[in-house]
Chain A
Amino acid sequence: MMKRFWTSALALCLLSAMPAATFAASRGDRGGGGGGARPSAPARSAPVFRAAPQVSQPRPVTANAGGFNFNRDVNARPVAPVVPRPATQQVPARLPNQSPVNYAHAPNATTSGGPYRGRFIGPVVRNAHAPSGSWGWNHGVAWRPAPVYWGGGFWGAFALAGLTDALLFGSINDDQAQLDYPSYQVQPDTPGAELLQDYQLQQTPCGPPDLVVIWGPDNSVICAVPNDSVAPGNYQVDPATFTLVPAQ
C-alpha cells in the first residue's frame, strides 16, 4: 500500500514540475484552421501595448492567405525615407538681389565629430568607472548604432522621424560649413547617461562658450558643464572603451 502511495506521489510531483509553457502548443490549437491569425476579441486587453490608440471595438480584418497581415504597410505608397542626418543647413540672411549660395552637404550620418572629424587625437580622458577591456561597459557586447535614431540611439531612443524643434537642447553651429548640429536631452538608462555619470558631468544646452562638447555616434552632439576631470573643449566618445578623446 505504501509503495503504491510513493510511486503515485512521485508521478504527481514530476507532472507538477512541468512548465505550463510545455502545453502552449496544444492550447494554441483552439483556433484551428492551420494556426493562422485570429481577430482579437473585444474583451481581450493588450497588456504590452499601452501606446496604441484606444479603439472601442477592434474590427476584424480579412484574413490573409497566410502569414502575417501587414497589408497596410506592404501595399501603402512608400513614405519619404528618413534621412539619418542630424545636421541641418543654416539659412543665412541674404541681401536683396543676392543669389542663393550652394552650401556643402551635411556630413554623412555614419561619421562622427562634425567639423572636428579627424582631429580627436588628444590624450584619452580616463574613465575610472568603466570596466577595462573592449566593450567592458556593455557586458562585453559590441555596441553598434541603430541608423534611424539620433546618435544611433546612444543618447536615447530619439527616432529621427519624430524629432522636432520643441525637443531641442541647444545646438552647435558650424559657421564655416553653414551647418547646424542639433542637440537633445540625454535619456536615463542609456549609454550616454551612463557616460555622463561616469565622468560626473552635468548636461547643459549647447550653444554657450566654454562647455564640454561631446560628439557621439552619427554626428550627434551634447554639451556638459566642465568639471575637475573634463576641461572645456571638444571631445569624441570612443564607444569601445567608453572614454572621451579630446580634439586637437
Chain B
Amino acid sequence: MFRRRFACVLYVALAALVLARAPANAEGVTRVQQSDGAVQIYDRVNIRLAGETLWLRSPDRKGVLEVTSGACSFVGLLQRCLPFATTLHQDGKTHQIALEHGAVYMNLTDASHHLPHSSERLGPHVVLVLLHTEHGTYVSVKGTLDTVK
C-alpha cells in the first residue's frame, strides 16, 4: 500500500520537475493602441529573437510582427536597441508599418536588472518593446523570449 502511494507521489514529483524545467512558451503580452484611442491587448504572444530582429507571433498564429532594430548597445547589463523597421506578415501579405521611433530593451542574462531611470525591473530573458508608428499607433510588448537564435 505504502509502495503504491510512494510511486504515485514520485510520479507527480517527477512531472512537476519536468514542467518546472521546461520553458514556458508564449507568455508575451502585446498592447496596441490605435491613434483613435482604441486598444487591443494580445496575450500569449510568442517572442523570437534572431540577431537584432524580433518576431512577435499573435496568439492565433495568424499574424507575425517583425521588428528590426539597430544601434544595439548596453545600459548596464541590459541591451538597448532602436527599432527602425516594422513589417506585419498577415493574411498571406506583407505590410510595411512606418515607424517613427521606439526602443527595445532586452535582458539576456539570468538575473533581473533595473531599466535605466526606472524602478521597473526586467526579469531574466525578458524583452520590452515600445513602438510609435507614423500613423500614431502605440505598441508595447513585454514578455519572456521564447526563442533566441
For chain A, the count of residues having a C-beta within 8 Å of the partner chain is 73
Given contacts A4-B5, A11-B9, A161-B134, contact A48 B140 (CB under 8 A): yes
Q: Which residues of B contact A31 (CB under 8 A)?
A: 43
CA–CA, A69 to B9, complex, Å?
46
CA–CA, A24 to B59, complex, Å?
12
A68 touches B30 (CB 8 A): yes
A73 within 8 Å of B by Cβ? yes
A25 touches B84 (CB 8 A): no
Partner of B44, one of A24, A68, A139, A144: A24
Which of the listed residues A7, A64, A146, A149 has the most CB atoms from chain B within 10 Å of its own CB? A146
Q: Main SS of chain A's interface residues?
A: loop
Q: Which residue of A lies closest to B136 (CB)?
A: A72
Q: Main SS of chain B's interface residues?
A: strand
Given contacts A7-B6, A48-B142, A152-B70, contact A58 B39 (CB under 8 A): yes
Q: Which residue of A lies closest to B142 (CB)?
A: A48
Q: Which residue of B lies closest to A79 (CB)?
A: B134
B97 touches A74 (CB 8 A): yes
CA–CA, A157 to B81, complex, Å?
9
B20 touches A17 (CB 8 A): yes
Cβ proximity bits A125-136 to B, threshold 8 Å, 1 near / 0 not: 000000000000
B82 touches A149 (CB 8 A): yes
A154 within 8 Å of B by Cβ? yes
User: Could you tell me which residues of chain B, from 3 to 52, have a CB within 8 Å of some CB in chain A?
Assistant: 5-6, 9-10, 12-13, 16-17, 19-20, 22, 24-27, 30-44, 52
CA–CA, A162 to B95, complex, Å?
23
Q: Which residue of A lies closest to B7 (CB)?
A: A7
CA–CA, A64 to B63, complex, Å?
10
Q: Which residues of B contact A47 (CB under 8 A)?
A: 120
B38 touches A67 (CB 8 A): no
A94 within 8 Å of B by Cβ? no
A86 within 8 Å of B by Cβ? no
B20 touches A153 (CB 8 A): no
Cβ proximity bits A30-55 to B, threshold 8 Å, 1 near / 0 not: 01001111111000101111011101
